[in-house]
Structure 1
């Protein structure tokens, strides 16, 4: 491909353009570059308010000009004309006809959509599609596709994109929804790295808490705010009114909220709050702190904050994550005295349930009880008031602790039964961190005997494979079958053997000397089962399997999206009497609030338990993965559980965790070709 820069300079290109083509020719090229389908000359003429004959004459000049740059004007008889060129060349031609001498690096699809979303959020007037197409060097069809994705994202906040007859678009919805979307957009932008040349110290202003990258993203979306003054107000609030320092993420989230509020108040976009809710918030000490913050803002920014704004500041203070109180108070007992008894009670119920699911005892871990109870105090407040908390580690948590994340979802039983609250995946992620840390503290190696018939070389080969692939395994010794009795049963947990034998008090995993991947899976499964004596004992009678019915196992299905899957399978459960219509609606509704993707390509959508007639779990494996709020899912468990039937629900989540823990089992599910195999 010929490089535009190597043929002529940007200045020469512009001169050449003026010599060969008129300004109208430039407009024709711009129009054709933003269309993916052939365009009739009559339509181009209509857009430019000239005759069709004039356009046909101009197209001759356009064709000659495009040939210089290895682009071609194609004509389809009775259909129209279009420009044939690579994506890169189209973008370079855009720079030429717009009079730019420097080639602009194209945006990725995600970057382009993020910029368009930012513009829609910022703009008080409709955004013109043609302007977007020209600015991002893409066709209007591409912009239409972008808007569909953006509208899907905005729908999470009950916002829509409205289209004007003149080709403009704008965001429509309530003020509270708009603010939630703006805050979420800032949180997503916060995760993106900022180029070094855009990092700013704002004219030498030194910030104590705000990081440079976060400041850039804030000022990009909401530029006319004194962020240094906001930072000073919050730091002073920390020092004089709070027991502990605010965590950095919570600090930034509150700065974002205040900046958005100030910008909207300047535009006379006041937010509303019911008087009875304001009165309810007055009972919290945080309301007084919010009043103090509002008073300082009014002094510094010379504006009046309505009482509803003070109410929303209170909500943020109620839902904030403070740094762990253990950093402020040394004694666990003293820390727990600061927590309400009912929250400590819920904490123990959660820890007991998760311990059951994981097959370990966690209630004796005081660090877990203390840290989790402090965390739950703000978690419950956030859920009660409908506040969202962005978890920047969520993706990594799902990848590193996917089975624990799945087990933590079991706590939805307690949140819904005890507190009448729906937990979000963001909050489940934070619970997973606490549980994962507790498991790390309890981690012990599994002890094994290795039985083999060959010599030391074979033994070393087996040892090498085992220690490399399963570091949490401790090899007690290598021996022959006849020497097993030399070890007391309490000295080891199970046996790995390369030779067959039948008599053993402990489990035996048979393998060849190369310890292949299948053997590794079997060893890991054995280690997991031995960690779960409580579960194995309580699973007698196979109660959890009573939740599965052959007619509700669906193998290698095809669905366009998650809503279609939940709707169709949910309707089948409704028609067969397991659930009511309200269950299906609540399951779909939950997905608009939070994703139920738990990691490992598995999702567990579920509706409200009060709409379940008979508990059931429908299992769906997919021919092709589907998008589940930005992640790929290939196995779906649609849960219709009665949370008041705790034992049945516990046992399901225990077995579910075992499946999540094992790549081998998940792959076996996907490989099933029939309901019987599944």
Structure 2
């Protein structure tokens, strides 16, 4: 019974031992229904599910409910996954079975939900099911079903000719989400040095994805991400940069985003980066006939698909817009431009191979610039907040140590420790490479600073990963200047973490003043 009680506590359900009545459950109705749904969705084996559903909803014709859902799917031109179909079935069955135990939905949530197609779909299903089973579904029940659908991750535009109208509605009633996405794209563009803020496809994808994310987090449905460890390892650059998103998320929604949810956002951003990173606009500086230049350009495009467009110009057309916007300048003699790639014979196989090789060398060179922090980030660090070769018994002791130092210097208030601890309970802040990046709520930060700690022995951070380098971030982004400085910090931290020499220097340092000087060489 203790084991059962611990499982139920996950859903805010208490198991009480009453001497007269025996064991009883104490709960809010919303939590109870979520627990039942999660039991059938995540705990019961497929081969046992039908039998247990029949027992739990004894006397309720589930086959008819299934037919109603299928009919509405066809009418609305939708196709649910098996999991979403089962979730809708469970919500409807529970609403019918527990008519005398109403759910509750916040008024402001209900007003917003009514603006989406998902609400209209949920209402249509409830009306048909109500007629079939003689039940009147309340507005709260319809909204509760809508929330479960939205938590499953699909808010859709109904008809192609209504796209603009639908987006206008979203802009009107979802301005907070739109502002959040725009700020995220602006920050990530600055940190990753890529024009993500002009990528409309990425913007739309984030809007649709994050709306479901907010509903899941607000209404207690956690989503696991089986790819998380792979994302941390393979896309460490974007994952590190994405931690600014968690602070912005709290600022806009007063919610803490989990690392599982953050991983899905990283995948969207990584996909956008890869779309950009594999394409180049090039210019050929021609000192030969134009017809020869056309032949060369066709050969290059055929054998090097990363080059999407080539313009043929003379070396005297440097004021041409195509020249200014080019990623590569292909030439037979130097034009004193850092973008230049000098190839003597572009028609030969050797010439094409050399062009490929030089493009790769340029990419590698850009990614391997000597890492260090700029003077702009200097005020975030100080020698008396660099603690080297430390030993801590556990993560909580480390966090208490860091926040106590920050508080003594007036950089934060006492609530920072608890907010950082709460975050760790919700999500791991290890970011791969044996590095952790814990941080607390910005509302407890008076002045932005970073406490840098290295450990004499790696510490088990989240039950799986060990870390030996910790950046404790106390950030407050109340002003534009402060936000820019923090974006610069993230941008410069990424190549530092990817540089083996730099990380070796961190781990081997014994003197905080000497290390501080190395950070800003």
> Are positions 1:340 and 2:175 aligned together?
no
Given the alignment of the two structures, is residue 436 of structure 1 paired with residue 270 of structure 2, yes or no?
yes
2:434 is equivalent to residue 596 of structure 1: no
Partner residue, 1:655: 492
Is 1:376 aligned with 2:215? no
* 1:507-556 deviation line (CA, Å, top 9, x unaligned): xxxxxxxxxxxxxxx998842266x9xx99xx75x222321233333334
2:83 corresponds to? 252
TM (normalized to structure 1)?
0.52
Residue from 293, 296, 300 that aligns with 2:125: 293
Matching residue of 1:395: 229
- Deviation string, structure 1 residues 390-421 (Cα, Å, up to 9, x no partner): 44433332232122122122223443445555
Shift of 1:440: 0.8
| CA-CA distance at 1:309 after TM superposition | 4.1
Conservation of the 8 A alpha-carbon contact between 1:222 and 1:263: no
Mapped contact 2:241–2:490 kept (Cα < 8 A): yes
Contact 1:273–1:311 (Cα < 8 Å) also in 2:
no
Superposition deviation, residue 582 in structure 1: 1.8
Give the match for residue 75 of structure 2: 240
Runs (5+) with no aligned partner, structure 2: 281-305, 307-331, 343-360, 517-521
Q: What whole-Å deviation, never above 9, does each CA across 1:610-660 have from its counterpart, x for those lacking one?
A: 211121122333423314265444433222101222112211221232234
- Looking at structure 1, the residues matched to 236 and 410 of structure 2 have their Cα atoms a distance apart, in angstroms, of 33
Q: In the alignment, what sits opposite 2:257? A: 423
Cα distance in 1, alignment partners of residues 390 and 274 from structure 2: 38
Find the counterpart in structure 2 of residue 210 from structure 1: none
Kindly report the root-mean-square deviation, in angstroms, between the aligned alpha carbons of the 2 structures. 4.9
User: Is the 8 Å Cα contact of residues 95 and 141 (structure 2) preserved in structure 1?
Assistant: no
The residue number in structure 1 matching 2:310 is none
Does the alignment pair 1:412 with 2:246? yes
Residue 363 to residue 287, structure 1, CA distance change in 2 (3 Å)? closer
Q: Distance in 1 between matches of 2:14 and 2:71?
A: 39
- What residue is the counterpart of 2:366 in the other structure? 527
* Contact kept? 1:574, 1:580, Cα under 8 Å: yes
- 2:347 corresponds to: none
**Residue aligned with 1:637, SS:** strand
Residues 411 and 447 in structure 2, CA contact (< 8 A), matched pair in contact too: yes
| Deviation sequence 1:407-454 (CA, Å, 0-9, x none) | 1222234434455554332332222112111111112599xxxxxxxx
Counterpart-to-counterpart distance in 1, 2:121 and 2:405: 52
Could you tell me which residue of structure 1 aligns to residue 147 of structure 2?
Answer: 315
Q: Per the alignment, do residues 641 and 188 of structure 1 end up closer, same or farther by CA in structure 2, a change over 3 Å counting? A: farther
Structure of greater relative contact order (alpha carbons < 8 Å, 6+ residues apart): 2
Match of 1:273 among 77, 90, 104: 104
Is the Cα contact below 8 Å between 2:114 and 2:120 reproduced in 1?
no
Say if 1:246 and 1:323, in contact at 8 Å, map to a contact too: no
Q: 1:630 to 1:222 in 2, by over 3 A?
A: farther
Larger CA Rg, structure 1 vs 2: 1
SS in 2 for 1:273: coil
Q: 2:399 corresponds to which residue? A: 566
- Once residues 154 and 406 of structure 1 are traced to their aligned partners in structure 2, the CA distance between those partners, rounded to angstroms, is 34
In the alignment, structure 1 residue 626 sits paired with structure 2 residue 465: no
Q: Distance in 2 between matches of 1:642 and 1:362?
A: 24
